Each structure stands twice: as C-alpha cells, then as structure tokens.
Amino acid sequence: MMTKIATIAGSDASGGAGLEADLKTFAEYGIYGMAAVTLVATMDPDNSWSHKVFPLSEDALRAQLETIFKGVGVCAVKSGMLGSFFAVDLTKEYLKKHNIDNYVLDPVMVCKGGGEPLNPELNQAIAEKLLPLAQVVTPNIFEAEQLSGISIENHEQVRTAASIIHKKGARHVLIKGPRLKGAERAIDFFYDGDKFELIESELLTTSWTHGAGCTISAALCAGLAQGLSPLDAARRAKRFISTSLAHGFALNRWVGPGNPSAWRNDKLFS
C-alpha cells in the first residue's frame, strides 16, 4: 500500500519552505503527500522580500483535515506553521480522533531560526496541546528556548532544554543546532528520554538555507512513516538536508532554498 503523509502547514509562495518543502521531501522518499493549508505566506519583491501572511478560515482548515484524515487516511503527520489558536486546536483534535502515533511537531516560531518571532502568543498553546502528542518535536535553538523556558548557549544547556521538553510530553526531541553560537560542525541533538545522541555533519557556509528546518522535519516524518526508528529517521533526515543544502541555489538577491531533488542523484551515484 502507498505510504501517505499529511502536512498541516503554511504555504510559502516562493516554494522553498512550508508545505512546498514538505511535499517535495515526501516525494523524494517515494511517499504520497497531502497538505492542509493553514495560511499563505507571500514575499514582496518591491519591498526587500518582506513577508505577509494570509490565514485561511477555521472552516477551510477543518474541511481539509476531514478530506485528509477521514477521506483518505495517513501513516504519519507533520505540522509546521499553524498561525492561529484554532489551527492548534484542530491539529490536536484530528491527531487524537484518528490515533496518529507518528506525529512530527515542527514548532515553527521564527523564519530562518533567528528572524522576527511569529505569533508568540501561540507558543504556550503549542507546548501544552501539541507536545504531548508528538512522537518527535524538532525545535531550532530559539524554539527550544521558548518551549523549555531556558536560554541556550552551549551543549549543556541544549541537553537541559531537551530534557525539559521531553518532560512536557514529546517522546523524542531533535534540537536543530547549527545556529548554536560558535558551532564548528552542524550538530543536531537527539534525546529519547534516556540517551542523548549527536547527529553531525559538516557546517556549510552557504546562505541558501531557506526551508532547511521544514525540510529536515519533513524528512524525519517520512522516515517514521516508512518504519524507521525515530533515531534512524533523524539520521537519514540529516543526510537528506545536508545533500539538499550542498545543492542550494539563489532564487533572487534575497533568498535561496536547498534543493531536495539533489537526493536522487546522490543516492544513484554514492
């Protein structure tokens, strides 16, 4: 049977992040992807690529979730930018109603790991309502600070944050760490409530990293859907994002994404 995944996320009209990144990633894993759109993000080419967000209504989101969860069925679910309290509540409702075990929560709170915080009022709702349902939560450093309530500047603090986030209910925590101050390798921190594992790759100097956080979470979700353990899925996701970023490219003078389709060639020739 075809493996199916749904992402509940925003659309990035420029195609590098959000549900576009998720669907491209699922396709590279050979998975059938579906998307429940929470909002549409646009970027203004005449005003330094500044972002605007157009939310979809609660009815529109519920109707999409009904189509996907009831009408089709899923092996795994990822959520990304939710953008409203009702999107948090609906995500929780459908995950519970349909007993979804493989749920990857990407607690998107910033674009590109350090920019303007998005909807800070939602952070607590995400932590309380969605963390306890997550098989894996995938915060970057900023998001891990928000979810744990501590500030993070070194490996010891990453570990403390991971254990706080685990205690709040997520079964596995993957903290995306390449933006940790002074990092010389691109290190992600995986914690299962018992052991910490470092998942490392070369730190690339590229600026074309738009959508990297969405992509690694989507790849992790794809691995879970295919039956990998959370740790193996995280390791494979790391290879996927590293390959994608090694082939990143500019869309214009402001932004550039990785290239998820680089994975095909990498797999063919390595």
Which residues of the chain form contacts with ligand PXL (CB under 6 A)? 9-12, 17-18, 41, 80-81, 108, 111, 211, 213-214
User: What gap in Å lies between CA 21 and CA 212, rounded to an integer?
Assistant: 9
Nearer residue to ligand PXL within complex by CB, 81 or 199: 81
User: What gap in Å lies between CA 23 and CA 25, rounded to an integer?
Assistant: 5
Strands 76-79 and 50-55: unpaired
In angstroms, give the least distance from the CB of 6 to ligand PXL: 15
In angstroms, give the least distance from the CB of 229 to ligand PXL: 26
Closest CA to 161 of 242, 107, 218, 111: 107
Closest CA to 113 of 45, 42, 215, 211: 211
In angstroms, give the least distance from the CB of 41 to ligand PXL: 4
Task: For the chain, give the longest Cα–Cα distance.
Answer: 50
In angstroms, give the least distance from the CB of 195 to ligand PXL: 29
Nearer residue to ligand PXL within complex by CB, 65 or 81: 81
In angstroms, give the least distance from the CB of 10 to ligand PXL: 3
Nearer residue to ligand PXL within complex by CB, 9 or 165: 9
Nearer residue to ligand PXL within complex by CB, 218 or 231: 218
User: What gap in Å lies between CA 262 and CA 244, rounded to an integer?
Assistant: 6
User: What gap in Å lies between CA 77 and CA 98, rounded to an integer?
Assistant: 11
Phi/psi at 74 (nearest 5 deg)?
-135, 150
Nearer residue to ligand PXL within complex by CB, 210 or 235: 210
Query: Using alpha carbons only, what angle is made at residue 105 by residues 11 and 86, rounded to the nearest 5 degrees?
Result: 65
User: What gap in Å lies between CA 176 and CA 113, rounded to an integer?
Assistant: 9
In angstroms, give the least distance from the CB of 7 to ligand PXL: 10
Nearer residue to ligand PXL within complex by CB, 41 or 175: 41
